[in-house]
Structure formats: C-alpha cells, structure tokens
Structure 1
Amino acid sequence: MYPVIAIDGPAASGKSTVAKEIAAQLGYTYVNTGVMYRAVTWWMLEKGVNILEPAAVEAAIKQAKTECWVKDGETFFRIDGVDPLPHVRDGRVNDAVSKVASVPLVRQILVAAQQALAAQAPLVMEGRDIGTVVFPKSPCKLFIDADPAVREARRNKQGEADVIAKRDKEDRARAASPLARAEDSFLIDSSYLGVAEVVAQAIEQVNRVGMKPVK
C-alpha cells in the first residue's frame, strides 16, 4: 500500500484547493471523494431513482457498475461506463447529494473503491470521512475548517447555492460515516488565511510525520 494523506472538512472549507496543491508539491495523486458521491447522485437522478427512499437507492446502487482507477497521476471514475464528471456540479446534484451519500450501502461501495486506490499510487484524498473511516491509520490526517459565514460566501462566489448550515447538519447527523474530526488529526482554520498559508501549514505537518515526496 502507498502512503495516504487524509484530508477532511466541511463544505467550502478550502480542502479541495489545498489538497490539490499538496498533491502537486509532493507528486501524489489527488482524489476528491465528494465527486464520487456526486457522480452516483447524478446517475441516480438520470435513472429516475427516488432518492428520498433509501431502499430504492440501495437497490439501484446494487445494479450499478462503478469503476475507479489511477492513471498518470489522475483519478478516473465511471458508472455503467459513463464519465459523470461534466455533471457533478449541476444544481440538482447539489440539492440531492447529501441524501444519496447518507445511504449506508452507497458509502460502503465507494469507501471500498477509495481504499483500493491506495494500492495504485500515493494519494492525497479529501472528503468527509477519510481520516475516520476510509484511512483511519494514515499517519497524516488534516482537518480543514472555516467559519460558516466565510464558507457560505465562498460558495456564493463560486456560483453555487449550497446552504452551508443545512449541509453541515446533514453531513454531521447521518448515521453512516458522519463528518467528524479524527482525534489525531491536525486542525487548520482557513477562515482568514490565503491558500499558500494553509498549504504551508499542511506541508509542515506532512514533514513532521515523516511523509516524503515522490522522487
């Protein structure tokens, strides 16, 4: 298994931007697990699955063929052979993803796919449950947070209509793999820091635990 840097945090905390930069600096492969849940959500909506019914979501995901792999430093995800990436930021996906992601079987299937990626390349993986569920034994766990008002403003600037308080409540309250900070994670508050400052703190922690860049 290759090393994994586990990055968690709530919506719009800046973890995606930071994770990409850390991966670039270290030569690791960046993995956004949230995109996988969005991809499955889009597929469910396209199939007309009633996402308000967990049993219907479970029945549908059992029939889906999900594939995830690393190639040339990039992560690829397909569902029934289709690339869902162009659709994962659709407004309807934003509205529905928390419901689909809360279904235990969906998380079970995608967590297994995420764990399998560590056999292919060193990873910087970000999401909601990486340090607590997906890679709880990672020696480098980061939790990136920010003030809710700051995160709301970031989402609005991105042209997305997430209601941060609602997303936080859904992410933290779900029974399956809720958003939570691992006890041994390193906390970074990105509220009033620039990207370079957050990345610098993260790289300092990476060095502290002895993780090395790819040569």
Structure 2
Amino acid sequence: MVRQETEFNDRINIAIDGPAGAGKSTVARLVANELSYIYVDTGSMYRAVTWFMTKLGVGPELQDEVLQHTLNMVLELRPGSDGQKVYVDGEDVTPYIRSTQVNSMVSRYAQIEGLRTHLVHLQRQMALRKGVVMDGRDIGTTVLPDAEVKVFLTASVKERALRRFSELSDADDMSLEQLEKDIAKRDALDEQREISPLRCAEDATILDTTNMNIQQVVTAIVSFCRSQRDGEKIQ
C-alpha cells in the first residue's frame, strides 16, 4: 500500500540530538515513518567509518589515512523492512557497527575534523529537499542549524546503559556496569571534543525520556512539529 503524504503543507527538517543511548535512532525513525519523511541516522555513518577503519587497521591517530580511506569508500544509507541499512562499498555492515569495539572507538574517529567535514557535507546534501528527520550529536548546532524543529533527547546514564545493553550484538562480552561507565566516558568525550561537541542548541526543546516509552516520545515530537506548522511557540 502506498502511504499518503503527510498532512503538512510545507515539508520541514527535524533535528534530533542527544547523548549515547538516549533513543535518538529509534525515535527518529518512527517520527519519520509517522510523517512519511526520510530518516537519516548520522551516528551510523560515523560507526560505519569506525568499523571500516578498524577492519583496515587504521587507527584514529592516522588522520590523513583515515580521511583518504573515507573519501574513497562508498557509504550508503538505504531503507529496509526492519529499519535503515548501512552499506560500505556495497556490503551491508548494519550488523557490525554497534559492537563493543565500535562503541569504544567511534568518538575518537568522530573527532577528526576532515572526517566530520566530509560527512557533514553528505548529511546536508540529504536534507536539501526538506522532509528529513536527522539524528546525531551536532545536528541542531552544526549540520542543520536552520532545522525548523530541534529536539534534544536525554535520559539518565543508568537508563541509557540499559537501552544500549539490550541492542549490543556482543553483549556477553561486556557487563551492564562496565557499559554504564563507558557511556559516562563517552558523554565526557563528546561534550569536551573541540570539533562539534555535543551540546543542546539554544532553540531546541529538551525532552528527558528516562520515564517515557518510545510511543510517548514519538507523539511528543510529532506534536512539536504540528505546533511549528501552526506557528505556535513550543514550550
């Protein structure tokens, strides 16, 4: 069945930011489905690069090599029946990019200025025609600073660790306690990096999802979008 176009007369861009494990990817995908918009998981792009570099044995300290390999790789985001699929040079790497190894290394690669510049350019190209829901850590501040709706999702470290633990492809290799420590460390790295640090845009709506289920969060964000369309002030 062909899904009908959203009720919105003017398509908008929606930026969803927040720390690791806040539920950005799941929520952004569902919001996109609700509005018949395109979902762009920017975090998966950095994860794909991280997976590829570890496969090649190119560490984040070798910035020139990382950038050269990134410029030469073909990175694609494709819709799938069970969510967005990530391809590198034609290979579906979706099952591999949320491993413990990738989780522990992605922040270090994400600090490489040339890499971020390249991926931000690709992300902005995806949003030119509007109708995009994009999630990450610097969407509202750097990638799409003019997005009509900006949401900053957050949750307690403990809650985010529980969520991430449930989705790890190799969860048996890491305890929940260790994962909680790693997420806290990841927060510090993301917030303190010099290039596009994690921070809430001044005009973003902060949404603490610790005690919310996924549908409640999706409903709230869709409501924000309706408020924007109608010219109402989002509280």
Q: Same fold (TM over 0.5)?
A: yes
**Contact 2:139/2:145 (<8 A) preserved:** yes
- Asked if 1:186 corresponds to 2:205, the answer is yes
Change (3 A) 1:98 1:182: same
Tell me the residue number matched to 1:28. 37
1:31-180 paired onto structure 2 within 5 Å: 31-62=40-71, 64-68=72-76, 77-119=86-128, 122-159=131-168, 160=171, 161=174, 162=179, 163-180=182-199
Deviation string for 1:76-131 (max 9, x for gaps)? 65444443323212222112111111111111111111111123562111010110
Show CA shifts across 1:26-47 (max 9, x none). 0011111110000011111111
Distance 2:86 2:27 in 1: 21
Q: Alignment identity in percent? A: 37
* Deviation larger for 120-129 or 26-35: 120-129
User: Which position in structure 1 is the counterpart of 2:21?
Assistant: 12
TM-fit CA distance, 1:55: 4.0
In the superposition, relative to structure 1, how do residues 80 and 158 fare at CA in structure 2: closer, same or farther (>3 Å)?
Answer: closer
Q: Aligned partners of 2:63 and 2:30: how far apart in 1?
A: 36
Query: Aligned equivalents of 1:111 and 1:178: distance in 2?
Result: 14
Q: State the Cα deviation string for residues 37-64 of structure 1 (Å, max 9, x = none).
A: 00011111111112234344234334x2
CA RMSD for the aligned pairs? 2.5
Residues 54 and 187 from structure 1, CA distance in 2 versus in 1: closer, same or farther, beyond 3 angstroms?
same
CA deviation map 1:138-197 (0-9, x unaligned): 110011111112212222233455421111011111111111100000111101111122
- Measured in 2, the distance between the counterparts of 1:19 and 1:61 equals 25
Q: Write the letter of the residue equivalent to 1:60.
A: H
| Aligned equivalents of 2:66, 2:228: Cα separation in 1 | 40
Which secondary structure does the structure 1 equivalent of 2:134 belong to? strand
Counterpart residue type for residue 204 of structure 2: S
Gaps of 5+ in 1: none
TM-score between the two structures when normalised by the length of structure 1:
0.87
Matched pairs, number: 210
- TM-score (normalizing by structure 2): 0.80
Amino acid at match of 1:154: R
- List alignment gaps of at least 5 residues for structure 2: 1-10, 231-235
CA drift at 1:14: 1.4
Output the CA distance in 2 between the equivalents of 1:107 and 1:25.
29
Matched, 1:208 2:227: yes
CA distance in 1, matches of 2:136, 2:52: 20
Return closer, same or farther for 1:119/1:69 CA change in 2, 3 Å cut-off. Answer: farther
